[in-house]
């Protein structure tokens, strides 16, 4: 959420409540809307659900609601960058407002006023999206073709399990920082302007804990190992990337979770290879099978099938076995290769000599014609 959001968005309208609505009215309105609009039951309503959640995130927090109301009354709904650069509003600390509401300054009011009010602000309170997490997984050839659910052991930073993210030891709770009164920033005046900087006492969080949580040393976040069952779709190949949205690092202060980006590796198979969604397989046949035709048994990933090799098949010809590649998408492409025996029995040799005499055609005759 940026300062621009504060100025441009009407959170009261989003929740359908008046500007002086009580906290409990706001909660009631939100609960009803959240129930009606939840993406699980109302697939088209995601944008509106987000809008409502964002509005509630601000209006349900007394401090944020105050900031929001101040920003709205200061700038109205029509924000004009030039209007305030001259002198600032007397008695109001713009830098303070922006540093807390600003989050990412890019594109927001922070850009306009950043230079004027000292910049370098890291938002103490704006929701922050969780980190994207990368992971690698190695699948067997067959699992890559069929798709698989694989357990993925991840270490991520998330809310500390011991303190629930507050940073305070169990049984105690954090309280507002005494130095900055919970604002997360301290201000000083110079030359008619108010400069603000993150509070040093609480490092900008606005809160202090007396007894830090032993699980996270008061940070509120901890490195956690967790096992996710990740569904890899059918047909992935070596190097494929699968993005699982919302399965990455936890967000902070109500921000959404990051994504999990899984890079897939595939172990080679001793028989099969891949060509897109098709599987490929080389199958040796004898010369008599290729010349006379034969029914041969060929393996697939799911048992064997019988392939009819027609009479007069040349070496290298490819046959398609429908539906035996990536499920729903690919076939098995069987390429027959005429195998030449390295050794012949006496009888086989005599039989071939007889064949040769009976079929004296020269398969290279056309080559001589081309050259002459």
* Contact footprint for Zn ion (CB under 5 A): 160, 162-163, 177, 179-180, 199, 201-202, 213, 215-216
User: Rounded to whole angstroms, how far apart are CA atoms 369 and 67?
Assistant: 92
Query: What DSSP state is assigned to residue 252?
Result: B
Give whichever of 224 and 263 is closer to Zn ion, judged by the CB atom: 224
Write down the least CB distance from residue 196 to Zn ion, Å: 12
Q: Among residues 63 and 338, whose Cβ is nearest to Zn ion?
A: 63
DSSP 89: -
Q: Give whichever of 54 and 197 is closer to Zn ion, judged by the CB atom.
A: 197
- Give which of 14, 43, 230 is closest to 139, Cα–Cα: 230
**For Zn ion, which is the closer residue by CB, 224 or 237?**
224
Q: Give 3 or 213: the residue with its C-beta nearer to Zn ion.
A: 213
The DSSP code sequence of 354-368 is: HHHHH----TTHHHH
CA distance 216 to 254: 19
Q: Provide, rounded to whole angstroms, the least separation between the CB of residue 202 and Zn ion.
A: 3
Rounded to a whole number of angstroms, the minimum distance from the CB of residue 135 to Zn ion is 25
Residue 160: CB minimum distance to Zn ion, A: 3
Residue 225 Cβ, how far from Zn ion at the closest point, in Å?
A: 16
Q: Which is nearer to Zn ion, 174 or 254 (CB)?
A: 174
CB of 247 to Zn ion, least distance (A): 23
SS3 353: helix
What does each C-alpha distance from 56 to 151, 200, 250 come to in angstroms?
Answer: 35, 30, 20
Does residue 269 contact residue 317 with C-beta atoms inside 8 Å?
A: no
- Distance CA(281)–CA(304), nearest Å, equals 13
Distance CA 62, CA 65 (A): 5
Tell me the closest approach of the beta carbon of residue 100 to Zn ion, in angstroms: 12
Whole-number Å distance between alpha carbons of 147 and 277: 12
- Measuring CA to CA, which residue among 5, 24, 57 is closest to residue 254? 57
Nearer to Zn ion, 184 or 248 (CB): 184
Residue 148 β-bridge partners: 232
Question: Are residues 186 and 179 in contact, defined by beta-carbon separation less than 8 angstroms?
Answer: yes
Tokens 């991520």 correspond to 156
**Contact predicate 334/298, CB 8 Å:** yes
All residues at 6 or more sequence positions from 275 whose CB lies less than 8 Å from its CB, including other chains:
333
- Cβ-based nearer residue to Zn ion, 58 or 163: 163
Residue 185, SS3 per DSSP: strand
Q: How far is the CB of 195 from Zn ion (least distance, A)?
A: 16
Give the tokens for residue 168: 């305070």
Of 163 and 257, which CB lies nearer to Zn ion in the complex structure?
A: 163
Work out how close the CB of 276 gets to Zn ion at its nearest, in angstroms, rounded to a whole number. Answer: 49
């Amino acid at each position: 959420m940026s300062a621009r959001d504060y100025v441009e968005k009407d959170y009261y309208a989003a929740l359908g409540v008046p500007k002086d609505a009580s906290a409990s009215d706001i909660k009631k309105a939100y609960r009803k809307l959240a129930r009606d609009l939840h993406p699980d039951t109302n697939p088209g309503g995601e944008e509106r659900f987000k809008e409502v959640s964002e509005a509630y995130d601000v209006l349900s927090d007394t401090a944020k609601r105050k900031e929001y109301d101040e920003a709205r009354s200061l700038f109205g709904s029509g924000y004009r960058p030039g209007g305030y650069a001259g002198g600032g509003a007397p008695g109001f600390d713009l830098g303070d407002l922006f540093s807390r509401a600003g989050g990412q300054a890019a594109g927001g009011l922070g850009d306009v006023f950043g230079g004027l009010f000292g910049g370098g602000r890291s938002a103490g309170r704006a929701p922050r999206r969780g980190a994207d997490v990368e992971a690698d997984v190695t699948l067997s050839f067959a699992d890559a073709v069929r798709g698989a659910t694989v357990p993925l052991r991840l270490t991520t930073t998330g809310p500390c399990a011991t303190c629930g993210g507050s940073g305070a030891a169990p049984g105690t709770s954090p309280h507002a920082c005494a130095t900055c009164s919970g604002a997360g920033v301290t201000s000083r005046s110079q030359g008619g302007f108010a400069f603000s900087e993150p509070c040093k006492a609480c490092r900008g969080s606005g809160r202090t804990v007396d007894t830090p949580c032993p699980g996270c040393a008061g940070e509120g976040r901890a490195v956690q190992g967790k096992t996710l069952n990740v569904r890899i779709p059918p047909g992935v190949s070596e190097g494929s990337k699968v993005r699982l949205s919302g399965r990455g690092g936890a967000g902070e202060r109500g921000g959404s979770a990051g994504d999990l980006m899984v890079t897939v590796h595939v172990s080679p198979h001793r028989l099969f290879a891949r060509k897109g969604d098709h599987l490929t397989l080389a199958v040796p046949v004898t010369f008599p099978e290729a010349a006379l035709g034969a029914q041969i048994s060929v393996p697939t990933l799911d048992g064997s099938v019988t392939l009819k090799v027609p009479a007069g098949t040349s070496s290298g010809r490819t046959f398609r076995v429908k539906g035996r590649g990536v499920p729903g998408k690919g076939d098995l492409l069987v390429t027959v290769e005429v195998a030449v025996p390295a050794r012949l029995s006496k009888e086989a040799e005599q039989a071939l000599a007889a064949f040769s005499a009976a079929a004296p055609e020269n398969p290279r005759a056309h080559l001589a014609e081309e050259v002459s």
